[in-house]
A and B are shown apart, each in its own frame.
Chain A
């Protein structure tokens, strides 16, 4: 009946493209794909990786949104822009959550979370993460993981997604996500998830 997928805006066009549910991951890097991110720094680029660490988004990389502080971001690795719907447009968000149904549905109680890749209610260790939903007049990031105790699909530790009060067969949520390693080494106990209720 319904499908819920993550999409990223990359490739020719670019265009919002579904991230395969097997073998593709959203990844956060330094200046380029596979570049490390310094401890206590946020990523400078975002990519979709496939098997064997292949960069899937070779033409028009996935949009990157870097956390600067609670109310600022940048998209290029430099600069400092006030976070709001005007400055961060939907097309520049990291991910799009897409619900498709053969019938028109309303939604409620949506949420986006970062977890350890195994248990949705467990935080991703040693990663600080912030998220933002575009299009809801928000002006600040929401912390969705502090790397030590907070994160996962838990109230107050995830991003609440907007209610869709108009029914449609396709519903979308635009999300920016930025991550910072708190220790040396690749962070593999990290994954993203989203849950939507509909009727």
Chain B
């Protein structure tokens, strides 16, 4: 399986990340789908290099991001591909970053940040 996030929704539907050129990003599409249909994410997991990590189920909210870096005089293929998924606990997003190295190996690490300014959170209804 290629690198992707997979979201389970409160409606029972499972959504798999799929980029389609010319369309909105799959996460933005998921945000709109949840808003329009009054459903929410109940679980989120991420696969990188065939390794999968999952977040706790039924969190207040879920978050996803890609991180892209440019370094002068460093070719793109020598930089890792970094992406993160997270879940909200009170006023913090607890993040699991997944890294695909240039050697196509994966590792994951934890991080957290304030929810302030994080516009990609899909919230569970209060």
Contact = CB atoms under 8 A, between A and B. Distances in A.
Interface centre among A101, A103, A192, by most chain B C-beta atoms within 10 angstroms, is: A103
A194 interface: yes
Interface of B: 19-25, 27-28, 64-76, 117-120
A4 B67 CA distance: 10
B66 A193 contact: no
Given A163-B117, A167-B28, A6 B66 contact: no
Contacts of A102: 19, 21-22
Contacts, number: 98
A74 B25 CA distance: 41
A99 B68 contact: yes
A172 interface: no
B121 to A, nearest CB: 10
B69 A194 contact: yes
Given A2-B66, A2-B68, A99-B68, A199 B27 contact: yes
A26 interface: yes
B26 to A, nearest CB: 8
Contact of A24 (B24, B70, B73, B119): B73
A6 B67 contact: no
Interface string A185-199: 000000111111111
Interface in A1-45: 1-6, 19, 21-26
